[in-house]
Amino acid sequence: MATKKPKKNFFSRVKEFADIITAIGIIGAALVGVGTWCTSQINASTNEKLDKLSSQIDDMKLDNTRTQLLMMISDFPENKSEILKIAQYYFGDLKGDWYATDVFTKWAAAHGINVDELTFMKEVAK
């Protein structure tokens, strides 16, 4: 003869349900913790890569603008307005280097431009 399982009362069912909900909550919190840790590791790596990429882009801008400035001074020395535009970006925004500064200063002197009067050159002279 099969024995019947005793029926559970309302309170024991509620307690079982509460235990299940608690277990789900603990598992969920653990998953959130692991997910947060994984995300922080991914973000740290991504931020490092983005910083390196940003630095490489800045170096490329500097190199390309230096090349453009020196090429314009060499090949088109009479094109003052374009040379001054490139020089303003190179020396003002990109904080150009000593070699281009020397070449630009000599070009400016040969073309009657006082470098000391150029606003973007004030930082370079320091």
Q: What does the pLDDT read at residue 19?
A: 82
| pLDDT means over runs of 10, the chain (126 residues) | 66 78 84 82 80 89 91 92 91 85 91 86 66
Calculate the alpha carbon distances from 90 to 48, 85, 95 in Å.
27, 9, 6
- Specify the pLDDT at position 103: 92
CB atoms inside a 10 Å sphere around CB 44: 10
Nearest CA to 62 out of 88, 97, 29, 19 is that of 97
Please enumerate in sequence order all residues whose Cβ is within 8 A of that of 95, keeping only pairs 6 or more positions apart, or say none.
Answer: 123, 124
Write down the pLDDT at residue 83: 92
